[in-house]
Amino acid sequence: MIIVMEQNATQQQMDRVTKYIEDHGMKSYIHKGDLLNVIAVIGNEITINPENIAALDGVSTVKKIQEPYKLVSRTTHPEDTVITFPNGVKIGGLEKPVLMVGPCSVEKDFDGLIKIAKAAKEMGCQFLRGGAFKPRTSPYDFQGLEEKGLEYLAAAREETGLLVVSEVMDTMDISLLCKYVDVLQVGARNMQNFKLLKALGRINKPVMIKRGGAATIKEFMLAAEYVLYNGNPNVILCERGIKGFDSQFSRNVLDIAAVPIIRKISHLPIIVDPSHATGKRYLIEPMGKAALIAGAHGLMYEIHYDPDNALCDGAQSLNLDQFRQVTKSLNKLIGRIDYDNKNNVK
Ligand code: PEP
Ligand code: MN
């Protein structure tokens, strides 16, 4: 249920409404807009009569909404969420799309990571991304450098000024990640790790949630809802492909339509990862462009100074020359991107 307050409603009237909601065993979430304040009612609405709320002073309208993901939904929060980082980089809304690049895993060759970071900086990327805790299908594969990898990322940030992103796999590691990174990534395999999502709701660093390989858009939205519900509004969504029936040519099926759908139903930023979506380096550029045209707020793709010898995901990583070429072309497109009044790319 959404309660829209009158334009001139007083704080006292708002407090009266939120108290009413809480007295009926539900939680309220207030969104203060430029013109209107909106209150979302969260919980089992059966105990509350909308007509009684509509009759409270200062209430303009009461709407029952269908979506179970109220906090993530545009109905509750009509304005886009734009996340602003301490260095001024912004993601979301009508901001220019951002680029996040880096190796699948941070490896022990620190100089190699610096080479990647410098190339990323030189090409205008805003984020360096690399895994220090790796969710690998096989226990025999490289599992990541853990804290050492995070130290390397932080040192690369020091050297280049890039923001850094890395995956968190366990609630136990959240405070460690927070010490080093600017964005905590939740991998596709953990999209429904509810304990992890709840704990990430209790921090205030941005969290990037990747769509699960077999997750519906509704499940994806509900994963983000967990983080918002637990108190952290800074969530970035990442479409990274879903499982199809044919993986001969592409690792997953990139769901491009998810981008405009999510822009329509949610206020959160949505980025696209063409590397994990396709598993092929030659598909990063065309799929990256398609994602930008569809309205992605950013792209994340894998690059490596020596992809043939990368410890993880080399086949879907660009080498640094290819990276410069592809990024030049993506930047050209980003430079031309403009939005119409319906939030679509013109
Ligand atoms: C990754 O981003 O490195 C990764 C493991 O991707 P995903 O969680 O999308 O499979
Ligand atoms: Mn990877």
Is 54 within 8 Å of 62 (Cβ atoms)? yes
Supply the pLDDT for residue 33. 86
> Which ligand 1 atom is nearest residue 185's CA?
2
CA–centroid distance, residue 93 to ligand 1 (Å): 24
| CB of 276 shorter than 6 A to ligand 1 | yes
* Contacts with 10 (C-beta within 8 Å, 6 or more apart), sequence order: 58
Other Cβ atoms less than 10 A from the Cβ of 250: the count is 16
Is the Cβ atom of 210 under 6 angstroms away from ligand 1? yes
Is it true that domain 2-63 has CATH number 3.30.70.1140?
A: yes
Q: Model confidence over 191-227: pLDDT tens digits?
A: 999 999 999 999 999 999 999 999 999 999 999 999 9
- What digits encode the pLDDT tens for the residues 298-341? 999 999 999 999 999 999 999 999 999 999 999 999 999 999 88
- The tens digit of pLDDT for each residue in 131-151 reads 999 999 999 999 999 999 999
Ligand 1 atom nearest 187 alpha carbon:
8
Instruction: Among 100, 127, 273, name the best residue to mutate to test ligand 1's pocket (greatest count of ligand atoms within 8 A of Cβ).
Output: 273
Query: Helices (DSSP H) in the chain: which residue ranges?
Result: 11-23, 50-54, 110-122, 147-160, 174-180, 194-201, 217-229, 258-265, 274-278, 284-294, 320-336
- Give the CATH fold of the 83-334 domain: TIM Barrel (3.20.20)
Shortest CA distance to 126 belongs to which of 83, 169, 72?
83
Give residue 276 CA to ligand 2 midpoint distance, Å: 6
Q: Would you state the pLDDT for residue 91?
A: 98
State the Cα–Cα distance between residues 313 and 302, nearest whole angstrom.
Answer: 8
In tens, the pLDDT along 162-196 reads 999 999 999 999 999 999 999 999 999 999 999 99
Ligand nearest to the CA of 187: 1
Nearest CA to ligand 1 atom 10: 188
- How many angstroms does the Cα of residue 65 sit away from the middle of ligand 1? 33
Asked if residue 240 has its Cβ within 6 Å of ligand 1, the reply is yes
Q: Point out the ligand 1 atom lying closest to the alpha carbon of residue 241.
A: 9
**Could you state, in order of their start, the residue ranges of all structural domains in the chain?**
2-63, 83-334
Share of the chain above pLDDT 70, in %: 100
Q: pTM for the complete prediction? A: 0.91
Please report the DSSP string for 117-174 in residue order: HHHHHHTT--EEE-BSS---SSTTS----THHHHHHHHHHHHHH--EEEEE---GGGH
The crossing angle, in degrees rounded to 10, of helices 320-336 and 110-122 is: 30
Q: Is it the case that residue 46 has pLDDT exceeding 80?
A: no
Q: Which of 184, 276, 304 to mutate to test the pocket of ligand 1 (most atoms within 8 A of CB)?
A: 276
* 44 pLDDT more than 80: no
Query: Matching CATH topology for 2-63 and 83-334?
Result: no
Task: Write phi, then psi, for 276 (nearest 5 degrees).
Answer: -70, -25
pLDDT band at residue 66, thresholds of 50, 70 and 90?
Answer: confident
Ligand with minimal distance to 317 CA: 2
